A = this chain, B = another copy of it.
Amino acid sequence: MKVEYINPFISATTNVFDTMVGTELHRGVPSLKDGYQPSHEVSAVIGLSGKARGTVVLSVDREVAIQVAAALLQEQPDGLNADVADAMGEMANMIAGQAKAQLEHLCMSLSLPTVVTGKGHCIDFPRNAMRICIPFSCGWGSLALEVALAESSDSTAEVHQDVMAAQTV
């Protein structure tokens, strides 16, 4: 996974939160993530396929999910319900869609989003696909975008270098 593949996801995330729900995100330090680490309580998962295969997971605190839905739907949801899940799926869809547009040469298309809820759930990727976790925070709480994108020539060494480079972007 190359650094030029990560930045479109970072800029898409900050842009979608800014334009769609009026919230400024502060980015933390990207890292490689492995093993079973609990995700935030709500995770929207969307698949990418084309000249690269990948997965994007937008994982957010319960309160972030509820406030995102309130802002998108212009109505306060009564807890973590199907409206909130739909809103989170749509956010992941827009983020992946914008990133895809910036990575036009990979000719990727998107799957339908699925939304996972549950305290302490973990999301694991195949070990041969390096996964990069980009943490963010905002006034509502914290969230993270996790991206794995595999081309046939990927190697672990490249990913380590690219994550280091991404931190300086």
Interface residues of A (CB under 8 A from B): 15-16, 19-20, 34-36, 38, 43, 45-50, 53-55, 57, 81-82, 85-86, 89-90, 93-94, 96-98, 100-101, 109-127, 129, 148, 150, 155, 157-158, 160-162, 164-165, 167-168
Contact = CB atoms under 8 A, between A and B. Distances in A.
Contacts of A16: 164
Contacts of A126: 86, 89-90, 112-113
B161 A97 contact: yes
A interface secondary structure, majority: mixed
Contacts of A53: 109-112
A115 B123 contact: yes
Contacts of A47: 45-49, 55, 110-112
Nearest to A54: B112
List the 5 shortest-distance A-B pairs measured between CB atoms, nearest first: A47-B47, A47-B111, A97-B161, A118-B121, A101-B165
A91 to B, nearest CB: 11
Contact of A82 (B35, B49, B120, B121): B35
A165 B124 CA distance: 29
Given A100-B165, A118-B119, 12 more contacts: A43-B116, A45-B114, A53-B109, A54-B112, A55-B114, A85-B124, A90-B160, A93-B157, A97-B157, A97-B164, A98-B168, A114-B125
Contacts of A90: 126, 157, 160
A155 B155 CA distance: 36
Given A45-B45, A110-B49, A111-B47, A82 B127 contact: yes
B118 A82 contact: no
